[in-house]
Structure 1
Amino acid sequence: MMSEKELRLYIGGKIKEYRNKKKVTQEELGNKLGVKNNTISAYERGTISPDSDTLFIIADILEVKADDFFPPIENDGVDYLDKIKDLRKENLEAKDMRFFQKLIEKTLSMDDAEREKFIESIRFTVDYYDKTNRD
């Protein structure tokens, strides 16, 4: 699967693609985000990644869904990035949102065997939590 660097490059490419489709300059996007245009350039080059809150704002500005910035993944039809966005509405703290973003990025950067072990450990933790917190 993709490394973290490859994911940053992919996301940056998508930001640039959607920005150009909307005919928005880096400076205009930066002004709307409250950052300098060189920050937008760094996002697009994959040098740095926008945090999850910023990515949702960029999506709103460019009139796309946040998951449009990520490579397609097979799932059960659930839009997980929208689910995470919904968590933001539930007053989830920014540090927790960053944790979810890091979790997704980490999962996407692993090879199949690594990812399987990683997800299994998360499943174990969730199952354990469910079992110990039943009423």
Structure 2
Amino acid sequence: MRKRSLVLLGATFFVGIANEVIKVGKKSKKTKNVPIQLYYIGEWTFLDRRNAKHSLTINPDLSIELDNNNVTTKTKEIDEKKLTLIDNFGYLLVIRTNKNKIPTSLYDEADDYTYNIIGAKEGK
């Protein structure tokens, strides 16, 4: 009887460990760590107040170009919802994303205006 109890206890122990290993494996597959900057990298377009189309390019190092002109910036903050940069004059540029982590707006503190990003840059 005692031997049977020890076998059942050992089997229960190993089943419990196996379940925990399976749970950990499933969690790691669901939550892949994507570098946050990948959400922002790309070429985007937006319209200004006069409906003129402009291009915004965000490079892998998070440097930016507006209408193919480099803009000197430093990264202040980055997460899944927004990228905050400071330009060389000290003004903030804030790029926000939607629930799909796609950039949807560009706030320019110098203009105190938020531009809606309308999609990928055309022509490339």
Name the one with the larger helix percent: 1
TM-score above 0.5: no
Larger radius of gyration: 2
TM-score by length of 2: 0.23
